[in-house]
């Protein structure tokens, strides 16, 4: 994933003087971690352990992981271009019977207020559970989107984007309808599990009588600072996942990932479309393969993500390179070959997934895999053509199963004083 800069953490003095949720100056979620015990782990800027030292008499500031903060207001919603977070929750809600445009607007107003406060490290606006009382923002992001059915329920059918048309069926689909789609979608990510759960609980409580939970999924990634240096994340198959992700520094990044400011419909300006897939990895079968066989399926080295044709992770893949027998070094059905943008008419999407593990089946088979989330300006030019091509002969397909799916229109970021989706609901 692309590295993203984060605002500098405030000093301990600034944090200590921050108003609490009651308006006074007291210990809030943004306040200090508090006095440590007899010994405390001192963390450096990278989040790695520097050493142990006796705790000072005074309170100590939040670690770098806890103090990192995302911005709720902006051109785009948070949770799209930020780096992978250690913990994530995906949830979909359906509007309840009788709830329409007015109730949806009130709900998005509540959700936006809660998201802004929690992302700043503050308590929820009401009935806070105190789950994250001792933590900082921990890079929390909360993102909102609209499903196909939302527009029918709110009488806004004429404002539904054509890009939100249902995805076609794919041969690898084994979809559970109860865990797919939904009127409203929420993505929560943070680098602390309690902070992420706190946000999920607050969002669920805010739904009140306007919406009911349709499905919810939990995911994780490696914690920042767990590796000696920043690197591409690994999935549960042990492969580096996201090597060829588009980067914001690329000249065509915005064109591929975000709806232009002059886009149609106008309320989707600077927004994006999220495809969400629960992809189960058949790990028992995968782990029976040798490392060489796994690498042939993917087309990259398991150790460092380098293409089989040579080089390192960022080296362009040589698709024409052959061995002494004249056979392609990167097999024709290798996953990395099939998904290359230059082999899919330039189709590109920004992958931002979470791994998941939901226990084991009765026979001991792990229910684990990838909560696949990808972002693009138009799913019919991003996700769909690539998935269709994978359907026709991807070597990885026999080791995965798509079990849930959703497509959501994610509007641009809310300006200060606005709530997410206001231009749709009040336009």
In a 10 Å sphere around its CB, with 0-12 CB exposed, 13-18 middle and 19+ buried, how is residue 53 labelled? exposed
Please list, in sequence order, all residues whose beta carbon lies within 8 angstroms of the beta carbon of residue 123, skipping any fewer than 6 positions away: 20, 21, 28, 29, 117, 130, 133
Residue among 234, 224, 233, 192 nearest 45 (CA): 224
Tens-place pLDDT, residues 4-17? 433 444 433 333 33
Q: What pLDDT was estimated at residue 4?
A: 41
Lowest mean pLDDT among 115-119, 147-151, 388-392, 411-415: 388-392
Is the pLDDT at 52 greater than 60, yes or no?
A: no
Average pLDDT over residues 217-235: 93
* Alpha-carbon distances, residue 179 vs 59, 91, 188, 398 (angstroms): 45, 10, 17, 22
Tens-place pLDDT, residues 343-380? 777 788 999 999 999 999 999 999 999 999 999 999 99
Confidence of residue 30 (pLDDT cuts 50, 70, 90): very low
Helix (H) or strand (E) holding 151: helix 148-153
Is the pLDDT at 187 greater than 90, yes or no?
A: yes
Tens-place pLDDT, residues 141-186? 999 999 999 999 999 999 999 999 999 999 889 999 999 999 999 9
Tens-place pLDDT, residues 320-336? 999 999 999 999 999 99
Burial 294-327 (b: 16+ CB within 10 A, else e): bbbbbbbbbeebbbbbeeeeeeebebeeeeeeee
Q: What pLDDT was estimated at residue 13?
A: 37
Is the pLDDT at 271 greater than 80, yes or no?
A: yes
DSSP readout, 307-350? BTTSS-TTSPP-TT-B-TTS-BSS-TT-HHHHT-GGGTTT---E
**SS3 of residue 263 by DSSP:** coil
Residue with tokens 């909560």: 371
Residue with tokens 């290359």: 340
Q: What pLDDT was estimated at residue 62?
A: 66
The token duo for 361 is 């089946």
Positive or negative torsion for Cα 73, 78, 81, 82:
positive
CB 50 within 8 A of CB 40: no
DSSP readout, 26-61? S--TTS--B---SEEEEE-TTSSEEEEEEPPSS-BP
Catalytic residue among 241, 254, 378, 394: 241
Q: Which neighbouring-strand residues pair with 404?
A: 278
Q: What distance in Å separates the CA atoms of residue 310 and residue 319, rounded to the nearest whole number?
A: 11
Half-sphere exposure of 304 (CA within 13 A, CB side): 9
Is the pLDDT at 36 greater than 50, yes or no?
A: no
Residue 189 backbone phi and psi in degrees, to 5: -140, 145
Q: What pLDDT was estimated at residue 53?
A: 36
Is the pLDDT at 18 greater than 50, yes or no?
A: no
Neighbours of 338 (CB within 10 A): 22
Mean pLDDT, the chain, whole residue set: 87
Confidence of residue 63 (pLDDT cuts 50, 70, 90): confident
CB 283 within 8 A of CB 237: yes
Q: Are strands 49-54 and 39-43 parallel, antiparallel or unpaired?
A: antiparallel
Query: Based on C-alpha coordinates, what's the Rg of the chain?
Result: 22
Please list, in sequence order, all residues whose beta carbon lies within 8 angstroms of the beta carbon of residue 189, skipping any fewer than 6 positions away: 79, 82, 85, 87, 88, 139, 140, 141, 196, 354
Q: What pLDDT was estimated at residue 321?
A: 96
DSSP readout, 188-253? EEESSHHHHHHHHHHHHHHHTTTEEEEEEEEEE-PPTTSSSS----B-TTS-B--TT---TTSTTH
Percent of the chain predicted with pLDDT > 70? 85
CB 239 within 8 A of CB 300: yes
Asked if 241 is an active-site residue, the reply is yes
CB 295 within 8 A of CB 302: yes
Q: What pLDDT was estimated at residue 15?
A: 38
Taking the model in full, what pTM does it have? 0.85
Residue 231 backbone phi and psi in degrees, to 5: -155, 165
Q: What distance in Å separates the CA atoms of residue 101 and residue 310, rounded to the nearest whole number?
A: 55
For the chain, first and last CA: distance in Å? 35
Helix (H) or strand (E) holding 356: strand 354-360
């Amino acid at each position: 994933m692309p590295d993203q800069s984060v605002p500098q953490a405030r000093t301990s003095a600034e944090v200590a003087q921050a108003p609490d949720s009651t308006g006074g100056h007291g210990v809030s979620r943004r306040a200090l971690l508090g006095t440590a015990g007899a010994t405390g782990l001192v963390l450096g800027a990278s989040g790695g352990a520097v050493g142990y030292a006796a705790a000072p008499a005074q309170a100590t500031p939040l670690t770098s992981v806890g103090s990192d903060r995302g911005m709720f207001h902006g051109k785009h919603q948070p949770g799209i271009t930020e780096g992978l977070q250690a913990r994530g929750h995906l949830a979909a809600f359906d509007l309840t019977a009788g709830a329409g445009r007015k109730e949806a607007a009130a709900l998005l107003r509540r959700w936006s207020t809660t998201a802004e406060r929690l992302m700043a490290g503050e308590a929820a606006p009401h009935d806070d559970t105190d789950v994250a009382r001792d933590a900082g923002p921990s890079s929390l992001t909360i993102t909102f989107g609209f499903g196909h059915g939302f527009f029918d329920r709110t009488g806004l059918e004429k404002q539904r984007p054509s890009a939100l048309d249902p995805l076609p069926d794919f041969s690898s689909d084994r979809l559970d309808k109860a865990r797919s789609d939904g009127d409203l979608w929420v993505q929560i990510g943070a680098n602390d599990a309690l902070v992420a759960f706190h946000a999920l609980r607050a969002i669920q409580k805010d739904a009140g009588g306007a919406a009911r939970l349709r499905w919810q999924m939990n995911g994780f990634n490696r914690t920042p600072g767990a590796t000696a240096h920043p690197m591409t994340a690994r999935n549960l198959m042990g492969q580096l996942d996201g090597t060829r992700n588009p980067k914001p520094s690329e000249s065509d990044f915005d064109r591929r990932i975000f709806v232009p400011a002059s886009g149609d419909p106008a309320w989707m300006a600077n927004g994006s479309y999220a495809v969400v897939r629960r992809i189960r990895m058949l790990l028992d079968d995968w782990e029976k393969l040798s490392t060489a066989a796994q690498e042939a399926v993917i087309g990259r080295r398991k150790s460092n993500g380098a293409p089989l044709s040579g080089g390192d992770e960022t080296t362009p893949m040589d698709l024409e390179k052959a061995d002494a027998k004249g056979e392609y070094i990167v097999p024709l059905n290798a996953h990395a070959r099939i998904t290359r943008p230059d082999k899919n008419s330039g189709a590109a999407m920004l992958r931002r997934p979470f791994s998941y593990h939901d226990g084991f089946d009765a026979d001991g088979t792990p229910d684990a895999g990838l909560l696949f989330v990808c972002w693009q300006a138009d799913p019919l030019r991003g996700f769909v053509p690539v998935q269709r091509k994978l359907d026709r002969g991807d070597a990885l397909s026999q080791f995965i199963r798509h079990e849930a799916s959703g497509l959501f229109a994610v509007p641009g970021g809310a300006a200060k004083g606005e709530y997410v989706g206001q231009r749709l609901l009040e336009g």
